Amino acid sequence: MIERQLICVTGIVQGVGFRPFVYQQAKLLQLLGSVRNDSDGVKIDIQGEKSAIQAFYHCLLDSPPSLSRIDNIARQTVDVDNTLSDFCILVSQEAKTASVSISPDQATCPDCLQDMKAEESRYFEYPFTNCTNCGPRYSIIEKLPYDRCHTSMKSFELCPSCDSAYTDPMDRRYHAQPISCPDCGPVVSLLTPTGDVQLVGQAAIEKAAQTIQQGGVVAMKGLGGFHIICDAKNNEAIQRIRQLKHRKLKPFAVMLADEDQAAQHVVGCDLEWQSLKSQAAPIVLMKKRQGSTLACSVAPAAPYMGVMLPYTPLHIVLFKMLSGMGATQALVMTSGNISGMPLATDSSQICSQFAQDIDAILDHNRPIVNPCDDSVVHVAGGKVRVLRPARGYAPVTQKITYQGKPILALGAQQKASVAYALPNQWMLSPYIGDISNLDTEQRYQETAQLFPKLYRQAPSLYLHDMHPGYYSTQYAQNHTPGPYVAVQHHYAHVLAVMAEHNINQQVLGFAFDGTGAGTDETIWGGETLVADAEEFERVGHLKPFRLIGGEKAIKDPARILFAMLLECFSFEQIRALNLPAFASWSAFHFSNLHQLWLSGKNSPYCTSMGRLFDAWASLLNLVEKVDYEGQCGLAIERAYMSGDKSQSLQLEEKLRFHWSDDATSVLDWTPALKQTLDCQRQLGAQWASQVSISLVLAVITAIEEMSDKFPHLPVVVSGGVFQNRCLVNDLFKRWENRQSLIYSGETIPVNDSGIAVGQLWHGLHVFK
């Protein structure tokens, strides 16, 4: 029996080889009709034997292209068309609006890697090799649908060989929009630090490799932006980069030639190695291997090292040339920007930021339309968890049943990102950065405007954080037509996890982070909320303490420790303790900070679990001054990993937090702080490690005790504190013996990069 169906497939179905896949299956099953891209997805007109159409449909469901994601398949049976005589691929159609999902950029696939290795291939060592299974996507797109004329490749006219592959449905490069070869594609150039062209082509890459081998520092253009790179074994070169980027201690990411090279410097579990080798090719935080020959200055005083493998053809060619010179197979590869500035995407930005302070710029002429940094992941609680959503992962898109008008969520101030929803899906932008200057504000504006521009649908509602000083709040109020609605920061943290796991029921949420504006005009950060997608109630929080000097306390954790001690002891008693954290303080400084604490001037109360960890890191003499966000938490992790948990289990019985019996329970940390001081002599050299373990376990016990009060509710944990791998590992291990379910972020970060998704989840349910 002959039948004809119209099929609409939505999801990530453009730029991933979906049309040639459909074409090949239709030909195999002797079906007639056509397939085309449009702004909503892929439209298929299929006709033939009913059994063949059914087989075709099951093939769509069961074995679509590896990079695709099908969100929905809509089928409609229509009248048979007797004029059909073949199956073909039609030209894309552009509609007034769009809804197709955007694919993230992808690392080089195994087939293209083989092409680059084959001397007889026209792609041999070609630094821009790609196909429908790999290469740039998000970073080059200007409009939807995703066609070459809507990308930054539109100015590169295809040579006859590339045009033949591009138009052959049986070729894996059929409609691979960035397709090119040495005859028609982008060109690599080596520039001086002032931007003058020195060399082009392979000679440019070879000279860059020589510069690195000789201890130089090179800026290199990648998929979504520039990297600053040097030999990861050369301490002098690394220190140069630290000075250039104003980055004293924060760990650098390292790119290693292959898995074998990586195994010489880090150790990891199966999930970590799988993530490292995946096509998303993120930076994976893995434990340092003892005996690594990389310079200690790569990741000083940190328990982990961020490693990644070459993910573009240009990286692969560079490493091959380095290998041929007998040079290093490990490169520091950090984002191409001065700390606080947005990622550079053009060589002129590198020249203006770094002037004569680098040795060369390895550039190319494929424009970057949408900047995109490297993704960062780690494994915690038995799951791969994204800490920075970017290349390979973002835009993050997810199917929903929402049928309302578009909504734009504007996120927070740190680790900024935006989220956008339209019928049937929501999406999260790649990480933008901390909004701390005009350049980052401009990058933020461009990203906030991108999704409405691509989908040609203006938002009907804007959601933002409650903090009036956040640029995202000011953007909503001053740069949008409105209406706009504020969503409390910690509620949004909980909502982000709910959105990822599609949770609509009430949950018990623990939002532990640095700081965020509370509904009572105080600073929150250690919150327990009973929440659903529409509203929340604050049922618990950390006992408040002052941030002496406000923002200054975040950089100087001894101020936080001092404020917490003042909640327990007199000024004179604290002076008599002679703690190392205060060793550099003069009597005048002590007195001045005490007066600030007494008056409360520029010293607001907070309930921050993140700041509590900062205070303990200071008390244990792990961190003196904070050089980068999360440093104190990492120091606690490092101390935890060096300790003996069996000993700490005994200490845990004494080092405990205590919930009050009030309607809004207060988690009192003062007994634990006193006990930490009391056990110093008893533990001696093991004090820092054993207390760090006990601190983590005390937080977990507090979570358990509060959840016991709400046994019917699933538990959600979110906020930057839950980036602590030791905390999450122990928490999820402990939860294996409990009845309630527990959730945390996986593809959506628990840090502020996920805030926009939480805001959006609220908007989708309240403003339908």
Q: Give catalytic residues, as residue numbers.
A: 19, 37
d(Cα 108, Cα 105) in Å, to the nearest integer?
A: 10
Distance CA 28, CA 35 (A): 15
* Rounded Cα distance, 221 and 217, in Å: 13
Tokens coding 516: 């965020």
Spacing of C-alpha 374 from chain mean position: 8
* DSSP 8-state class, residue 106: B
Q: Collect all residues with Cβ–Cβ distance below 8 Å to 195 and sequence separation of at least 6.
A: 347, 348, 351, 361
Q: How far apart, in whole angstroms, are the C-alpha atoms of residue 298 and residue 31?
A: 58
Phi and psi torsions of 480, nearest 5°: -130, 155
Query: Reduced to 3 states, what is the DSSP secondary structure of residue 87?
Result: strand
Question: Which H/E stretch holds residue 541?
Answer: strand 536-542
In angstroms, rounded to a whole number, what is the distance separating the alpha carbons of residues 45 and 300?
59
How are the residues of the chain apportioned to helix, strand and coil, as percentages rounded to the nearest 5? 35, 25, 40
Q: Can you say whether residue 48 is alpha, beta or left, with left for phi > 0 and alpha for psi between -120 and 50 degrees?
A: left
Q: Do the beta carbons of residue 21 and residue 29 sit within 8 Å?
A: no
d(C-alpha 689, C-alpha 691), whole Å: 6
φ, ψ of residue 707 in degrees (nearest 5): -65, -25
Buried b (16+ CB within 10 A) or exposed e, 685-719: ebbbbbbbbbbbbbbbbbbebbbeebeebbbbbbb
Q: Round to whole Å and give the CA distance between 306 and 299.
A: 9
Tokens of 691: 């207390």
DSSP string across 601-646:
TT--EEEEHHHHHHHHHHHTTS-SS--STTHHHHHHHHHHHTS-HH
Q: Which of 12, 493, 435 lies closest to 446 in space, CA to CA?
A: 435
Whether 511 contacts 460, CB under 8 Å: no
- Measured in residues, the chain has a length of 768
How far out from the chain centre does Cα 27 lie?
41
Three-state SS at 32: strand
- Do 260 and 282 contact (CB within 8 A), yes or no? no
Query: Cα dihedral angle (430, 536, 740, 544), rounded to 10 degrees?
Result: 90
Task: Check if the beta carbon of residue 426 is closer than 8 Å to that of residue 398.
Answer: yes
* Angle formed by the axes of helices 471-479 and 438-455, nearest 10°: 50
Closest CA to 718 of 285, 387, 427, 377: 387
Contact predicate 767/485, CB 8 Å? yes
Q: Six-digit token pair at 469?
A: 């000083």
Instruction: Let me know: does 250 contact 626? Beta carbons within 8 Å.
Output: no
Identity of the amino acid at 421: A
What residues contact 742, with CB distance under 8 A and at least 6 apart?
714, 715, 716, 717, 731, 732, 735
Is residue 181 within 8 A of residue 159, CB to CB? The reply is: yes
